[in-house]
């Protein structure tokens, strides 16, 4: 460390100037010039798929002693083995009151029939009163891309 003469202020010494430069570089490097990390997010676009021939699939399983409900439907707007995400909503007689719904991944078969797959291939169960009050269904299917 150098000796600073008494007639020279401390901030004109080389050690102080060097320390200031290092401090300035530290601040610039850590705060001013720091870039935000770039996250790449995979965007998936949803495309609605037209469905038709919606039929109720409602019944009673004697072995499990449960009522089940669901709908079968078809599509011709996508090729076979296309993965869809479908939401099936059970409606009351007024076609407005939603009684229950489920949203499962589905696959399209060669003949255009759309079926749930995997762990979701089982239709949901419900109370007999709910199942008997189902009169129609609203079905929305989306094709994933991207």
Q: What confidence score (pLDDT) does residue 138 get?
A: 94
Same domain, 60 and 105: yes
What is the tens place of the pLDDT at every residue in 49-66? 999 999 999 999 999 999
Same domain, 61 and 111: yes
Q: What confidence score (pLDDT) does residue 40 get?
A: 62
112 close to 84: Cβ distance less than 8 angstroms: no
SS3 content of the chain, % helix, strand, coil (to 5): 20, 40, 40
Give the structural domain span for 1: 1-39
Weakly modelled stretches of the chain, pLDDT under 50: none
What is the tens place of the pLDDT at every residue in 70-82? 999 999 889 999 9
Same domain, 116 and 99: yes
Q: What confidence score (pLDDT) does residue 53 get?
A: 93
Q: What confidence score (pLDDT) does residue 37 get?
A: 61
Q: What's the total number of domains in the chain? A: 2
Could you tell me the pTM of the whole model? 0.66
């Amino acid at each position: 460390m150098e000796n600073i003469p008494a007639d020279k202020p401390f901030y004109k010494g080389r050690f102080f100037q060097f320390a200031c430069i290092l401090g300035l570089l530290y601040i610039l490097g850590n705060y001013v010039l720091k870039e935000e990390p770039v996250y790449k997010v995979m965007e998936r676009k949803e495309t609605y798929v037209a469905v038709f021939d919606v039929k109720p699939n409602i019944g009673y399983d004697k072995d499990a002693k449960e009522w089940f409900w669901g709908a079968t439907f078809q599509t011709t707007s996508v090729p076979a083995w296309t993965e869809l995400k479908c939401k099936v909503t059970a409606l009351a007689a007024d076609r407005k009151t939603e009684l229950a719904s489920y949203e499962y991944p589905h696959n399209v078969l060669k003949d255009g029939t759309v079926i749930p797959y995997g762990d979701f291939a089982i239709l949901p169960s419900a109370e007999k009163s709910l199942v008997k009050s189902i009169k129609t269904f609203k079905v929305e299917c989306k094709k994933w891309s991207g």
